């Protein structure tokens, strides 16, 4: 792994969090639903090493997902159809590369903004990075148009379902403000990407690129069975897989899919329920978890291999080769969750929230959510822990809808530069891009979007 500076930043950040557990007393919500100040709960060696067991039990999902994404792309690459697809798209946009950049950036902002999905969208990122690199964009531009846009879209999510569930609020009070912020953020990001990018044709030989890169580099077919490769079946299967991900993970709030699922799963031959026995407790569309996602990725990998007449050995080899490229990423993503464990177990950030946000001042609430975002690797914990304690310390006067809106906006934008951002770290490691160089490249955009977020928050607070 070449990205040593990123690992150093992460290591120092983790040591800083451990130091805070030794200095700041913990606070937690007690039995009477009141924030109670406790004592200093330092993380000792036993607590630190005991946290690895917690990681393996509760925080492994994203890491397994990353490995299976790598396995999928490994099989796709082995067929030769992946290279065919990438070459066709890059040839199609030749001379109009900015169109590809604009479409990619807008797509990765709109997808999380509309669907409320975040990390599972990483399944698209290797493909679009291959396309952007293929037409000559730099790694930083490719990272901005995919991972960066993904994080920005997360801050602009229209439904805010997660935050509304945690805050137990009904309706979507600031929907049109969110729409306005989404559109403005998308336009600003696309313009920034265009202004800071340039297309540079590579002078390296393909063999040199393959040797230097650790990413999935599109390759010619590598299989015993030499056949003419057609990109269309791959495009169809991949599109169908992504459609199923959207159908499965997005909460549709309708009984249609529940009824359809029950009818399908109850289909039987005699007393033998076919799909129910084959798949087990497979969820209906709109209720999927990572378990269904794992199964879908594995099945898709196998189907693609079979369509392109790979034998079982070649399919397994492709999955191993692709997964191997993502092993280090999966490990780091898993270890990032130590920040969550140390922060919650110690309770020190609950005390910080009480110190800063208890007055209910909008600016101080925003500051608190910005400080707390890097400690909560997953947006779920930003809502469940940070936001819940903010609401608690403010008390009956808390504007719950506004606090949820603030938490959502500041989380996504902060994670655009935070070294503990799971998607950002995965992107930096995948592209072997320097973290410091990334921050230098993106800080102006992050600041502009944050200022835009503050304007949106101010408008919301006046309603």
Q: What is the pLDDT of residue 290?
A: 92
Distances (CA, A) of 16 to 21, 23, 61, 342, 347: 9, 11, 26, 11, 15
Q: What is the pLDDT of residue 209?
A: 47
pLDDT tens profile 252-276: 878 888 888 788 777 778 777 777 7
pLDDT tens profile 81-105: 999 999 999 999 998 999 999 999 9
Query: Where exactly are the structural domains of the chain?
Result: 60-80+224-251+286-334
Mean pLDDT of 72-79: 94
* Total count of residues recorded for the chain: 463
Confidence check: pLDDT of 203 > 60 = no
Which of 14-23, 30-39, 152-161 has the least mean pLDDT? 30-39
pLDDT tens profile 292-346: 999 999 999 999 999 999 999 999 999 999 999 999 999 999 999 999 999 999 9
Mean pLDDT of 405-415: 93
Distances (CA, A) of 232 to 7, 89, 181, 238, 305: 40, 12, 37, 10, 14
- Model pTM above 0.85: yes
Q: What is the pLDDT of residue 342?
A: 94
Taking CA 229 as the corner, what is the angle to CA 227 and CA 233, rounded to the nearest 5 degrees?
125
Q: What is the pLDDT of residue 189?
A: 97
Pairing, β 272-273 against β 25-29? unpaired
Q: What is the pLDDT of residue 2?
A: 62
Distances (CA, A) of 301 to 66, 138, 246, 429: 14, 29, 18, 23
Mean pLDDT of 273-296: 85
Q: What is the pLDDT of residue 211?
A: 43
Mean pLDDT of 76-80: 93
Pairing, β 268-269 against β 272-273? antiparallel
Q: Which residues pair with 47 in a beta bridge?
A: none
Average pLDDT, the chain: 89
Asked if residues 342 and 384 have their Cβ atoms less than 8 Å apart, the reply is no
Binned at pLDDT 50, 70 and 90, residue 206 comes out as very low
Best CA proximity match to 288, nearest among 326, 237, 337, 251: 251
Q: What is the pLDDT of residue 178?
A: 93
pLDDT tens profile 105-150: 999 999 999 998 999 999 999 999 999 999 999 999 999 999 999 9
């Amino acid at each position: 792994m070449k990205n040593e500076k990123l690992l150093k930043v992460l290591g120092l950040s983790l040591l800083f969090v451990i130091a805070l557990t030794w200095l700041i007393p913990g606070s937690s919500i007690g039995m009477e639903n009141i924030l109670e100040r406790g004592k200093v709960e330092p993380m000792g060696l036993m607590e630190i090493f005991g946290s690895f067991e917690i990681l393996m039990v509760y925080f492994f999902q994203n890491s397994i997902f990353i490995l299976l994404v790598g396995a999928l792309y490994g099989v796709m690459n082995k067929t030769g159809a992946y290279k065919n697809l990438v070459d066709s798209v890059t040839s199609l946009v030749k001379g109009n590369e900015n169109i590809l950049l604009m479409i990619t950036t807008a797509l990765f902002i709109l997808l999380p903004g509309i669907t409320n999905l975040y990390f599972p969208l990483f399944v698209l990122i290797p493909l679009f990075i291959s396309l952007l690199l293929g037409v000559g964009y730099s790694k930083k531009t490719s990272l901005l148009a995919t991972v960066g846009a993904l994080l920005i879209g997360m801050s602009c999510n229209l439904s805010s379902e997660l935050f509304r569930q945690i805050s137990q609020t009904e309706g979507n009070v600031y929907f049109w403000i969110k729409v306005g912020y989404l559109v403005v953020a998308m336009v600003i990001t696309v313009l920034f990407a265009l202004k800071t990018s340039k297309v540079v044709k590579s002078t390296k030989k393909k063999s040199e690129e393959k040797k230097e890169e650790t990413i999935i580099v599109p390759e010619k077919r590598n299989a015993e069975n030499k056949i003419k490769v057609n990109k269309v079946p791959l495009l169809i299967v991949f599109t169908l897989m992504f459609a199923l991900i959207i159908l499965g993970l997005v909460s549709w709030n309708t009984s249609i899919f529940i009824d359809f699922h029950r009818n399908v799963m109850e289909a039987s031959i005699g007393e033998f329920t076919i799909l129910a026995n084959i798949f087990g407790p497979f969820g209906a569309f709109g209720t999927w978890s990572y378990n269904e996602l794992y199964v879908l990725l594995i099945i898709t990998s196998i189907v693609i291999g079979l369509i392109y007449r790979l034998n079982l050995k070649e399919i397994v080899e492709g999955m191993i080769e692709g997964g191997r490229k993502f092993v280090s990423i999966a490990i780091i993503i898993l270890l990032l969750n130590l920040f969550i464990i140390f922060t919650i177990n110690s309770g020190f950030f609950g005390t910080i929230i009480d110190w800063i946000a208890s007055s209910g001042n909008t600016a101080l609430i925003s500051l608190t959510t910005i400080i707390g975002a890097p400690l909560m690797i997953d947006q779920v914990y930003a809502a469940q822990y940070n936001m819940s304690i903010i609401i608690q310390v403010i008390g009956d006067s808390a504007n719950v809808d506004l606090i949820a809106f603030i938490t959502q906006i500041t989380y996504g934008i902060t994670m655009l530069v935070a070294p503990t951002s799971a998607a950002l770290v995965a992107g930096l490691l995948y592209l072997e891009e320097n973290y410091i160089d990334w921050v230098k490249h993106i800080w102006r955009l992050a600041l502009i979007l944050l200022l835009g977020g503050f304007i949106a928050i101010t408008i919301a607070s006046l309603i």
